[in-house]
Every structure is written in C-alpha cells, then in structure tokens.
Amino acid sequence: MKVTGGCHCGHIAYEAEVDPATLRVCHCADCQKLTGTAFRTNIASLPGTFRLKSGAPKIYLKTAESGNKRAHAFCPDCGTPICAAAPEPNPTSYGLRVGGIDQRAQFGPPARQIWCRSALPWSMNISGVERAERG
C-alpha cells in the first residue's frame, strides 16, 4: 500500500510503501516518553520505498535498554515524530509514526503489541471509556 505523510506544520513530507499487516503498538517506556502519551503506533516501510519529499528532519539518536541505537526523526519546527530507523546512511526500512500518515484511517487494528510489561494498565483496554465525537 502506498502512503504519504508528514508533520503537523507541513515542513516535512514523505511517501513510502507499507504492508498494513505490520501495524503495531509499542508500550515501552521510551516510546511513552518520546511521544508524550501512553504508547506509540508504528508501521514498517517496505525496504527501499521511503522517500523524503520535502524538509529535513532533526535526528535524535536513542539508545534502547538492549543497547541498540535508533535514529528518531522529527520535524525541527513543530516537533511531530516522523519515523525511526537504524542509524546508518541508507537504512532499508523505516518505522513510520502512524499519526503522520495521511491514509492512517485505512489501516485495520494493530497486528501486535510489544513491551506490554511497560504498558500503563488502563491503556490495554479503553473500550469502556466514555466517548465523544468532538472535544
């Protein structure tokens, strides 16, 4: 599936191909901190398909609990998280942040949740929480 996306202010724009079956939620403490919320939803770009169309993201190099490093890209103007990848010149795949993808409503439910030991207890099931169409 071809997707397009970008940041909130419009500085960053990209396109990629994804397999909707790779949609996943990460509950790790790092993802909670880096997003400022309860979890992060990601989808992997297919190898060699991610293309930055405009803008230059700022990169933050994160070291995980395992010692692995990931280059996190975000908009230097509005701060929108864009993606993460291996910290090398031309990574084959990117973990795209689903909130920035224009076609995000076309994805089905996530195929997998990871780092559930770090999940906020309430974040695992919010189906009973009161709902409103607008804030």
Closest CA to 47 of 113, 92, 102: 92
CATH no., domain 2-122? 2.170.150.70
Domain edges within the chain = 2-122
Q: What is the mean pLDDT of each run of 10 residues along the chain (135 residues)?
A: 98 98 94 93 96 97 89 97 93 95 96 94 89 88
Q: What pTM, to 2 d.p., does this model score?
A: 0.90
Structure tokens at 13: 């724009």
Structure confidence at residue 64 (pLDDT): 84
What phi and psi, each to the nearest 5 degrees, are found at residue 48?
75, 10
**Residue 2: other Cβ atoms inside 10 A:** 10
- Distance, in Å, from the CA atom of 73 to the CA atom of 59, rounded to the nearest integer, reads 5
